[in-house]
Structure 1
Amino acid sequence: MDKTLRKIVNAVQAEQSGFASTQDAHKSALDSAWLDSLVRARNREMHDGKRTVAKKRLLPAYMRIRREEPEKLNAWGAPVGGAVDTQVIRLLRAKPRRTASGVATITVLTKPWCCSGDCVYCPNDMRMPKSYLSDEPACQRAERCFFDPYIQVLARLRVLEDMGHVTDKVELIVLGGTWSDYPREYQLWFISQVFCALNDAGTNNVEDAARRSFYEGCGLSCDPAELREQVAHVQNRVNEGELSYNDAWRQLYGESPAWQRACSIQHATLEDLKHEQMRNECAAHRCVGLVVETRPETITPNNLVFLRILGCTKLQVGIQSLDERVLAASCRPTKIRQIEQAFELMRLFGFKSHVHMMVNLPNATLESERLEYETLMSDPRFQPDELKLYPCCLVESSRLGKMMRNGTWQPYAEEDLISLLAADVMNTRPYSRISRMIRDISAKDILAGNKKTNLRQMVEAHLQQSADGDATPVRPAEMRLREIGVSDVRAEQLRLETLSYQTTVSEERFLQWVTEDGHLAAFLRLSLPHKHAVQRLQDIFRELHAANAENSGIVCEIGDKREAPIQPDQAMIREVHVYGKVAALHHSGESAQHLGLGRKLIEQACSQAAACGYTEMNVISAVGTRNYYRSLGFCDAGLYQRKPILF
């Protein structure tokens, strides 16, 4: 491996000196094709079939040398931090798009727990939280970590860093079904430990090993084969419809002494949380976004206050459909009015909305779903910031199998599904982003429905084919298709645009930096709340106080529990995002990061809000961005950071 790495270093040195040979560097173009060719050549040189150079191991090997044998890099002429060292890491970096959105994303899962819903399409894998499958990558990682948030975060950070990604700025996504179904003390502990892991990462601590030892001492296993055997007798009864997920959970976990012993450490206080949050404000790995997953009916003022105290900035909300007939057929316990109220409250509180929609649900048709998606995008009651657009599929442990057998549900033909999703993409507004079109469900787990992992690419190919015959093709406006990705960009190449749209509670403005051809380099979401909507929210808080509502003590944490956390004369910045390769904190990057685009967006947002008569600007900052906003004149103010914008 060292010989291969030395050859790569030599090639980079030669390229930077302008003397790289055509044979070695393909006319001084050291790219993935050149690297593939080099690896194949090195493997041909090794006659022992067991001694092969794996491309995916090159960067971890190089990073190990960097940490443990820097003198070797000095001898090679690639000192740590030098130009050659930087270029080698860039060349070896695996999956560069993983941080192309401007941050490193880490997904962690909560432990298996009872679910307040029982949707017919939901998987019921008893090794996982409701609706998740043990073969999904994030689920496999969580299981190997005993579902401990601290161990999960540390493990994922190590992998991302070994792949060459900058992990100074992290968006944490907490999955596992309905977050609000878990006890509050568990929620406090889970988020406290997520922050603690970010704060401890990179230090010489033994906490990771100590935690694994604790769980093993409780009698828990993290071996997939052993866990599969442990749940098999109950899983078979769930698959046959003899047991519900919740009944099976009580047998496997609720009555398990091992799980009860593990639960003995899974609690924390608000003081514990605040301590870790304060540490994270200046940590080497800062949380710049925190996302949890829930359902519309759990989005209440009190729950949103608690989520802000935890540090949440975005909510993934399982909507699935806007047709109550479809929801009823799927046994989804959600009403359209609850969905409307969820959107209203999320906007007023400043949260980014990331909704889950499913096509091909029972009772749905191709035509009804086209109209439904157009409603989602255009109706002032909805208009999400981001969404996952999944096709419904049948897995063994779900109750959808019975509906397929009796003919009340059938999967769409592939061409119909692709055509529907392509129409949805074309109907997506320029301020909305489709983050996913498939889940990470293994094809072997899908009994009926789409099994193609490249479904999104198939949809995009369909759109391209449709556009090829048009004299003036209409390009999709959807955000992900416009992102600059890992491309380089210069500030002078960009122009600032503002897109406005009305919702039931606010005027929303989407400020964007775009290139000449419309590609997206940075954006800001500005919310100008309607005064009557804020007044209504204040009335709700007074009613909660008068009724001595449950958890009103949590509201007390932000001041007078009779007052809503926002006022009628306050505007709200809901999100600021700059794309491109992640630049380390306090360093300039190779793309749009750290070019001042975010600062200019904030200045423009404050100017526009002031022109509309607002006197203060709130920002729903993440814990790791508090210092950044303080540097721009924002002060800590309860759930938000705030500054005056009229003088």
Structure 2
Amino acid sequence: MEKTLLNIISKLRRTSGPLDPNALDRIIRARNREVAGPVRHVAKKNLLPLYQDIKAHQPQTWASWDISPELEARLVRTLQVKPRRTASGVATVTVLTKPWPCSSACLYCPNDVRMPKSYLHDEPACQRAERNWFDPYLQVTARLRTLHQMGHVTDKVELIVLGGTWSDYPDAYQIWYMHELFRALNDMSSEAAVEHEAQARRERYRSAGIANERDDLAAWAAKAQARVTAGQATYNQTVRELYACGTSANAQSSRDNAIFAQIKTSGAKQATGVSGCPGSPHLVSSTPDAHATAQTPRTGWAAVATWQTATFSQLEALQRANETAEHRCVGLVVETRPDAVTPQRLATLRRLGCTKLQMGIQSLDERILAANHRGIGTDRMREAFELARIFGFKTHAHFMTNLLGATPESDAADYLRMVDDPAFKPDEVKLYPCALVDGTGLVDRWHRGTWRPYTENELVNLLADDMLATPPFTRISRMIRDISAHDIMTGNKKVNLRQLVDQELSRRGAPVQEIRTREIAFGAAAGDQLTLAEVAYETANTHEVFLQWVRDDNRIAGFLRLSLPRAQYVAEHACDLPIHPGEAMIREVHVYGRVAGLHQGGENAQHRGLGSKLIERACDIARNEGYSAINVISAVGTRGYYRARGFTDNGLYQQRQL
């Protein structure tokens, strides 16, 4: 591989930019043809880690190559894997909280007892989390290492914390989890420190027996899966036979007996089922009680919980350190339900460092919500949006099509209401079809014929309609869940669903205003090619202005979300709000293009002053509307950026007088 690397470097010396994929592929294929026998062939994904290793551990060899900073930048660009990972301007790191029950019992939602509610253990992020015992420090450091090896700049990080309903976890765990996220980012400046801490943590988890509990549960489910797959028994019969032959006599008997007790008390209804395939089993349940019972007796997790605690003062010390760290948190997202959104919880989330909320909306049709046992009405959803918006949070709604009782026509009307009704109008949307997973209550409806999956044509046309209905201030972040195809009993299993939708939109020839479609990504963004456009719209409690830098082709290079709270709403809710009359709010500033390192000029849109100009224009608008001050819901890692632009620390926000 070293010779291949030298061939690439030689080629780069004769060019002015990075090699295009075809040129790189020709070099790799030419080298592979030269290699004979059992020697492993060269793969692109291994070349950049090799270069990084030689630079770090063979300085004399690296020095002999005479690599200038400019040449190294082009080499990294050439060898970078999955460039889209940081094309939106930040390095995104997704982590999961530990397995935990949920108070809801939605008809479509799986309960994998190895995971937090609604997640399945063979989803990519879930696999990474389980390998790291759901430890936030281990998850972050491992992911950042991987991104670095793939050639990505990782000094501006958006942390996305998934795992059902964040506020359902104990308060001490919430503070500890955030404490460890920031600790991981701060430690990333020292590889030796990270490795020492990671080894110590792994040993601590092993000593608690968590690895054995995880492996035992997987083996337990695998045995049940094998019996069911072979047609030897129903799932419940298989479980009973396993216990009858002594499975419950092992070291994990308290946990196993608890699971079995839940199954026995389920009566005629089968409370649990196994989906997946041999070698990748998971125990799922259609009831929250089964999930809760299965989690509670794990003695290893109980032992670990005694040291998974931290104080706010400890967390805030790490946050202050992160303001100037080499890897800074520029966004922090948590997942919750609308009925868990209260002023007190939002204030706590701000202290934790959060800037965005993902909320499970699923539908705004009361009939469909009731049919799917959602347990949350639209009035509570409306209140959650109002509170999140007035607190300055970005709102990221989860919205599902093809739920029980829905039709493509009703889904289209439902989505249009969400993006058009002033009560909602989310900033981002996860728009995905309902996936039928074994063990959920929806399976019975499918067997009875009261629910069916949409055909591919119905689904693609519906999602295309939704894309066209999406306003220019909303971003559709994704269209599928990362559920493996073998876990989906019926319905869409295509991971390129969004590509199919894009093809349908191209066929129609209709313009799409949704943000993700318009992101500038790797395109050029010279200042003289951009125009500052303003999109104003009303919500239930604010006047919003979406400021965007766009090219002539409507591609977007950056934006700002300005929120102007209505005076009457602020006055009526004064006791619950952290803001005062006459204060505007910047809810988000985002500049697109390939990630530029901190204090470095970007080759696309980043670090060209676009964000500063957006802020100044937002201040002008707020001042002209009669506001005396403007707040910004800054992330921990962007506090210095806003201080340099006239903002001062002011409680939960940073503020600038107008």
1:469-498 CA-partner distances (Å, limit 9, x unpaired) = xxxxx3111111111011222111101011
Deviations 1:478-526 (A, max 9, x none): 1111110112221111010111000110100000000111100000000
Tell me if 1:116 matches 2:106.
Answer: no
Which residue matches 1:347? 389
CA contact under 8 A between 2:464 and 2:505: conserved in structure 1? yes
The alpha-carbon distance between structure 1 residues 616 and 233, as it changes in their structure 2 partners (threshold 3 A), is farther
| Aligned residue in 1 for 2:347 | 305
**Residue of 188, 198, 202 corresponding to 2:189:** 202
SS of the aligned residue for 1:580 comes to coil
Name the structure 1 match of 2:55.
66
- Aligned with residue 568 of structure 1, among 559, 578, 581: 581
Letter in 2 for 1:241: A
Asked if the contact 1:110/1:149 (under 8 Å) is kept, the reply is yes
Give 5+ residue unaligned stretches, structure 2.
Answer: 226-234, 237-262, 264-268, 273-284
Residues 572/4 of structure 1: CA separation in 2 closer, same or farther (3 Å cut) = same
2:271 is matched with 241
1:84 aligns with 2:114: no
CA contact (8 A) 2:331 2:355 kept: yes
Matches of 1:118 and 1:625, distance apart in 2: 39
Q: 2 CA distance for matches of 1:246 and 1:449?
A: 24
**Amino acid in the other structure paired with 2:607:** H
1:635 aligns with 2:622: no
Counterpart among 101, 106, 112 of residue 93 in structure 2: 106
**C-alpha distance after superposition, 1:121-150 (max 9, x if no partner):** 112211111100111100000000000000
Residue 2 (1) aligns with residue 2 (2): yes
Report the counterpart of residue 138 of structure 2 in structure 1: 151
The match for 2:205 is 215
Q: Deviations over 1:301-350 (max 9, x none)?
A: 00100011101000000000000111111110111000100111011000
Counterparts of 1:233 and 1:43, CA distance in 2? 43
Contact 1:221-1:227 within 8 A present in 2 as well: no
CA change 1:245–1:62 in 2 (3 A) is farther
Moved more, 404-413 or 352-361: 404-413
Corresponding position of 1:560: none
One-letter code aligned to 2:347: V
The superposition leaves residues 568-612 of structure 1 with CA deviations (integer Å, 9 ceiling, x where unpaired) of: 100000000000010100110111000000000000000000000
Match of 1:481 among 508, 512, 517: 517
The equivalent position to 1:361 in structure 2, one of 395, 399, 403, is 403
Question: Over residues 332-388 of structure 1, what are the superposed CA-to-partner deviations in whole Å (9 max), with x where a residue is unaligned?
Answer: 011100010011101100000000000000011111111111111111111010000
Question: Do 2:18 and 2:78's aligned partners in 1 also have CA atoms closer than 8 Å?
Answer: no
Deviation at 1:246, TM superposition (A): 3.9
Matched length? 603
Residue pair 2:92, 2:157 contacting (<8 A) in 1 also: yes
- Measure, in 2, the Cα distance between the counterparts of 1:29 and 1:99: 17
Q: Do the aligned partners of 2:286 and 2:439 also contact (CA within 8 Å) in 1?
A: no
The one-character-per-residue Cα deviations of 1:213-246 (angstroms, maximum 9, x if unpaired) are 0000101118976551145579956794256554
Answer whether contact 1:523 1:576 (CA < 8 A) is retained. Answer: yes
Name the SS for the 1:291 alignment partner: strand
Given candidates 319, 333, 347, the residue that maps to 1:277 is 319
**Residue-by-residue CA offset, 1:237-286 (whole Å, 9 max, x unaligned):** 67942565543344443112211111111111111111111111111000
2:474 corresponds, among 429, 432, 439, to 432
Q: Which residue of 2 aligns with 1:189?
A: 176
Post-superposition Cα deviations, 1:43-76, rounded to whole Å, max 9, x if no partner, equal 1111124421111111111111122223323212
Which structure 1 residue ranges, 5 or more long, are not aligned? Answer: 17-27, 468-473, 542-563
TM-score (norm 2): 0.89
Q: 1:55 to 1:227 in 2, by over 3 A?
A: farther
- Name the aligned partner's letter for residue 548 of structure 2: Q
Contact 1:92 1:164 (8 Å CA) reproduced: yes
Deviations 1:178-207 (A, max 9, x none): 111111111000011000000011312111
**Who is 2:543 aligned against?**
507
For 2:651, give the aligned amino acid: G
Residues of 1 paired with 2:217 and 2:150: CA distance? 29
Letter in structure 2 aligned against 1:260: A
The structure 1 residue matched to 2:621, chosen from 592, 603, 608, is 608
Q: 1:550 maps to what in 2?
A: none
**Structure 1 residue 11 and structure 2 residue 34: aligned?**
no
Correspondence list, 1:167-186, <5 A: 167-186=154-173
